[in-house]
Amino acid sequence: MKINDYNFAGKKAIVRVDFNVPLDENGHVTDDTRIRGALPTLKKILADGGSLIIMSHMGKPKGKVNPKMSLGQIKDVVSKALDAEVTFAPDCAKAAEQAAALKPGEVLLLENLRFYPEEEGKPVGIDKEDPAYDEAKKAMKVAQKEFAKTLASYADVYVNDAFGTAHRKHASTAVIADYFQPENKMLGYLMEKEVQAVDNVLSDIKRPFTAIMGGSKVSTKIGIIENLMDKVDNLILCGGMTYTFAKAMGGNVGDSICELDKLDLALEIMKKAKEKGVNLVIGTDCVAGDAFSNDCNTQICSVMSIPDGWEGLDAGPDSRKAFADAIESAKTILWNGPAGVFEFDNFTAGSRAIADAVVKATKNGAFSLVGGGDSVACVNKFGLADEVSYVSTGGGALLEAIEGKILPGIAAIKG
């Protein structure tokens, strides 16, 4: 079922959102992006004349009640954002009466789902090595189903709008869907947008397609690189992984970040790219520093000959130009991971050159998806988030989707 086609009038909807928002030491919300992200879905339900049961996790309480991670702290912010009265259910497994009492237009916010170990379905207080672990896990899976069933009993319809947890098979993100008929479960608007954005870069590709993979290590990105190799025209590999490639090619990378056990993997990637006709773009020069700090001394040098005592901290001018060339002509762009240590203001030039080129290509009609952790922080730092086509809200979930993995939260609804 599509949310837009569903009339929520007179229905109770239980909606999984990602309200895992950052709080300051007084419990005040410091960034409400995630709350705002869910508003189109929540408002549609209320505007139709439905009532809302909102559920989310916050932080990692690991199956225990922790007042510092109580969703009660954000009740007023949610109420203001929805322009509606919000009642709070302090025990999400015992909210049946409160849910039953809801009238159209009313909202119930459940306590942090992860106060219950059943939400994640992992046994707590028992070591994986313990011989009793497997039994405990089995028992927990049964309890997880019961918990999901209880949550499901509160509502007529289930909506999942939490892309950030779509890669988890938790009670509220996937298991609960078993208790609703296909016509009574659906993705929310935010989820639909995320799924569409992923589809644009994995299936419905306009060419040329340039993917930019940065960040610190090749080992954490290998699954994505392998999946993209069959799809992209240009593959830019930048950031810390540059130096693993340079070393593999026989270069001297000085003190740069370098995965010595991944040199063969780097050569294998280069070979595969050649076989598949992918234009692999790896930086040729870098901005090297004599310490891992913003104020260190710097010099521009070839990535193949970085002096000992120096480390590559950003892409050099030739590399930036090569990156921009491969990006500006693209019609589909995926960017994950910075081209340098962008947290240091003196080493943002590589990431900035990429961001500028992505914005330029987007203005020329390209579809650009930025996502997966630090590249989002990067476009935000540059104030360019509104100038790319889509900034994903899901770090790990987006990365798994791009690796080609099925996300349980989406599969539970779409089958």
Contact set with ligand AMP (CB under 6 A): 215-217, 220, 239-240, 257, 312-313, 337-338, 340-341, 343, 373-374
Distance between CA atoms of 290 and 271, rounded to whole angstroms? Answer: 33
Q: Pick the catalytic residue from 169, 217, 360, 414.
A: 217
Task: Compute the chain's Rg from CA coordinates.
Answer: 24
> Nearest residue by C-beta to ligand AMP?
215
Distance between CA atoms of 317 and 269, rounded to whole angstroms? Answer: 24
Distance between CA atoms of 334 and 327, rounded to whole angstroms? Answer: 10
For residue 204, the minimal CB distance to ligand AMP (Å) is: 26
Q: Would residue 350 show up in a list of annotated catalytic residues for this protein?
A: no
Distance between CA atoms of 267 and 258, rounded to whole angstroms? Answer: 14
Of 117 and 340, which CB lies nearer to ligand AMP in the complex structure? 340
Of 208 and 240, which CB lies nearer to ligand AMP in the complex structure? 240
Q: Give the N- to C-terminal CA distance of the chain in Å, as an integer.
A: 12
For residue 347, the minimal CB distance to ligand AMP (Å) is: 8
Which backbone phi and psi does 348 adopt, to 5 degrees? -100, -10
Q: Pick the catalytic residue from 59, 72, 223, 396.
A: 396
Q: Pick the catalytic residue from 12, 34, 185, 221.
A: 34
For residue 317, the surrounding DSSP H or E stretch is helix 317-328
Q: Would residue 247 show up in a list of annotated catalytic residues for this protein?
A: no
Strands 332-336 and 367-370 turn out to be parallel
Residue 385: Cβ within 10 Å count: 16
Q: Is 351 helix (H, G, I), strand (E, B) or coil?
A: helix
Q: Would residue 373 show up in a list of annotated catalytic residues for this protein?
A: yes
- 257-261 own/partner pairs: CB under 8 Å, 24+ apart: 257/216, 257/217, 257/311, 257/312, 259/217, 259/218, 259/219
Place of tokens 């009265």: 85
What b/e sequence results for 232-242 when a residue is b if at least 16 CB atoms lie within 10 Å of its CB, and e otherwise? bbbbbbbbbbb
Of 104 and 373, which CB lies nearer to ligand AMP in the complex structure? 373
For residue 153, the minimal CB distance to ligand AMP (Å) is: 40
For residue 260, the minimal CB distance to ligand AMP (Å) is: 15
Q: Would residue 16 show up in a list of annotated catalytic residues for this protein?
A: no
For residue 382, the minimal CB distance to ligand AMP (Å) is: 15
What b/e sequence results for 178-210 when a residue is b if at least 16 CB atoms lie within 10 Å of its CB, and e otherwise? ebbeeebbbbbbbbbbbbebbebbbeebeebbb
Q: Pick the catalytic residue from 373, 395, 404, 414.
A: 373
Of 134 and 343, which CB lies nearer to ligand AMP in the complex structure? 343
Strand-pair partners of 289: 298, 311
Of 220 and 364, which CB lies nearer to ligand AMP in the complex structure? 220
For residue 198, the minimal CB distance to ligand AMP (Å) is: 18
For residue 17, the minimal CB distance to ligand AMP (Å) is: 25
Of 196 and 220, which CB lies nearer to ligand AMP in the complex structure? 220
Of 85 and 261, which CB lies nearer to ligand AMP in the complex structure? 261
What b/e sequence results for 29-45 when a residue is b if at least 16 CB atoms lie within 10 Å of its CB, and e otherwise? beebebbebbbebbbbb
Distance between CA atoms of 34 and 266, rounded to whole angstroms? Answer: 37
Task: State the catalytic residues.
Answer: 34, 217, 373, 396
